[in-house]
Amino acid sequence: MPDTPIPLSAGATHRFEAGLERRAANYVPLTPVSLLARAAAAFGARIAVIDGERRLTYTALYERCRRLASALAARGVGRLDTVAILASNIPEMVEAHFAIPMLGAVLNPLNTRLDPATIAFSLRHGGARILIVEDAHAGLAAKALAEMDSPPLVIAIGEGGIDGTLAYEDLIAAGDPAHPWAPPEDEWQSLCLLYTSGTTGDPKGAVYSHRGAYLQALGNAVTFGLSGESVYLWTLPMFHCSGWSYPWACVAAGATQVCLRKVEPAEIFRLIAEHGVTHLCGAPIVLSMIAHAPAHEQRDFSQIVRCAVGGAAPSSTIIRTMEERGFRVTHLYGATESYGPATACLAQPDWADLTDEERYQRMARQGVALATLDAVTVTDPETGEPVAQDGIRIGEIRLRGNTIMKGYLGNPTATEASLAGGWYATGDLGVWHTDGAVEIKDRSKDIIISGGENISSLEVEEVLMRHPAVMLAAVVARPDAIWGETPCAFLEVKPGAAVPSSDEVIAFCRERMARFKVPKTVVFGPLPKTSTGKIQKFVLREQARAL
């Protein structure tokens, strides 16, 4: 970077601005790539990534990323070109999060659980020039590419691949380990493209910046207590919000990342015990799988494992079971549009005086803003004004800060709808407590209005999850000729548990909530889930209407 002043503001004359412009010595655009360069320089011999028997030090990881950047540049990839990747939680996914931004290009992690048509849409819409594919997903990639008129160049990871593709390891071998790179001239430059898993219409592509990714990495590291002694297990898909930005956060802290291709309780327990795992993240279904793992799949371990969960709040039953098995649960809240976590439910000193049930209720709140988010608020949907912090008045949760997406690629209408008025409108309804913590009561579309009364589906689900036979619960509105609509409960029972009767479940609820909130209909069976483990309530609403 040239050592010349960069004007802070045109015509600045105040003595605290004049002659005090930004320079190469005191201003460098923020980018998460610098975190890896620093890690390699500061503790290069430390293990950065574990994948089975394979180990990568920070020195080796940095070198491989520079080799990959060099090889991609030799094939014409440059500033703001899109490079997509279709892969599991493997070291190459971590490498992609650094090598592609080194070029000023845009990383586009693709959801491996989607159908070929949606993958093809994402590649077309994002304008991918390169597609990196793990051999395990070669079949999916081939079907998606067959639907494209101008498919991207394909790079194959592993032995199996697609005819005519380049081999990933050959590119690494041929690349320059000292490939030069520099931060973007503008830290607002686009870094990453993540497609949301919408329930209707085409996915929307949320765009991240170098600045936002850097700050989110630090916010995650501070909030989750990551350090050089931390061992992070990848139970969360790295394609989901770029792994909630944890590929960058772990490197910022100098932690070790342990790869996991498939979420299986036995493998999770094995890796925790063998590698001394200290941290993991996941959707509520991951916690449920761990909590309900049969005894023969569990392993003893001496360390406390910090477990961050996003999505629906974990039930008190799940939290209790996790604590008994050596896990400490932290509830996070966010979205693809907020680089993953935006708020965290942080323990307060007065929790020590609470009963277990009261503490679990506090732990299920969405909490307060991460240090790197500017603010969170709960606003009246009609007036846009903040609601009272009384834990009662319901409004829409909104977020603001440097870790909110730039917008949706090629979709100004959706961008304006989401970011208008100075806030990101989440669409989640919640309350604001006196201690500043927010608590989701429902998605705006999931509130049940029965006989003029508003019923939180989350509140009913929390009660249902206390039933000893219930593993997962989802509550939606079912049309009713008298009440307008009433709660309909869909329940998935624990493995090996006897299925209770509907009357038994209804009686259980009547003892624990107001009668108008009690489900009038109960359905048993596996719950439909998205590719990221979220329960598909839109499917259940259709089923409820058909009952």
Condensed to tens digits (0 to 9), the pLDDT of residues 278-296 reads: 999 988 778 888 998 999 9
Please name the residues in contact with 78: beta carbons below 8 A apart, sequence gap of 6 or more: 103, 104, 105
Residues in the chain: 547
Q: How many CB atoms lie within 10 A of CB 289?
A: 19
* Structural domain includes residue 393: yes
> Per-residue pLDDT for 439 more than 80?
yes
Of all helices (H) and strands (E), which one includes residue 123?
Answer: helix 116-126
* Structural domain includes residue 414: yes
Across the chain, mean pLDDT equals 91
* Structural domain includes residue 183: yes
Residues 201, 324 within the same domain = no
CB neighbour burial string for 151-175, b if at least 16 within 10 angstroms, e if fewer? bbbbbbbbeebbeebbebeebbeeb
**Strand residue runs (E) in 253-408:** 256-258, 279-282, 305-309, 327-335, 340-344, 368-369, 375-379, 395-400, 407-408
Residues 67, 9 within the same domain = no
pLDDT number for residue 376: 97
pLDDT number for residue 454: 64
* Structural domain includes residue 226: no
Domain that holds residue 3: 1-30
> Per-residue pLDDT for 154 more than 50?
yes
* Structural domain includes residue 224: no
Q: Measure the CA angle with vertex 237, ends 86 and 144; round to 5°.
A: 25
pLDDT number for residue 2: 44
Q: How do residues 338-363 score in pLDDT, each as one tens digit?
A: 999 999 999 888 898 999 888 988 88
> Per-residue pLDDT for 60 more than 80?
yes
Residues 491, 434 within the same domain = no
Residues 65, 196 within the same domain = yes
Residues 193, 55 within the same domain = yes
Residues 86, 7 within the same domain = no
* Structural domain includes residue 199: yes
Residues 359, 415 within the same domain = yes
pLDDT number for residue 496: 87
**Confidence band (pLDDT; 50, 70, 90) for 160?**
low
Burial class of residue 488 in the structure, from the number of CB atoms within 10 Å of its CB (0-12 exposed, 13-18 middle, 19+ buried): buried
Residues 439, 453 within the same domain = no
| Least confident interval from 10-14, 148-152, 202-206 | 10-14
Q: Which two tokens stand for residue 414?
A: 């959706």
Residues 419, 506 within the same domain = no
Are 199 and 247 in contact, with CB atoms under 8 Å apart?
A: no
* Structural domain includes residue 167: yes
Residues 154, 62 within the same domain = yes
Residues 402, 475 within the same domain = no
* Structural domain includes residue 368: yes
Domain end point (choices 419, 443, 467):
443
- Nearest-angstrom CA–CA distance, 141 and 121: 12
Residues 383, 519 within the same domain = no
pLDDT number for residue 4: 54
Q: What is the CATH number of the domain that holds 58?
A: 3.40.50.12780
In the numeric block, the tokens 């100098």 are attached to 254
Q: How many structural domains does the chain have?
A: 4
- Nearest-angstrom CA–CA distance, 151 and 134: 17
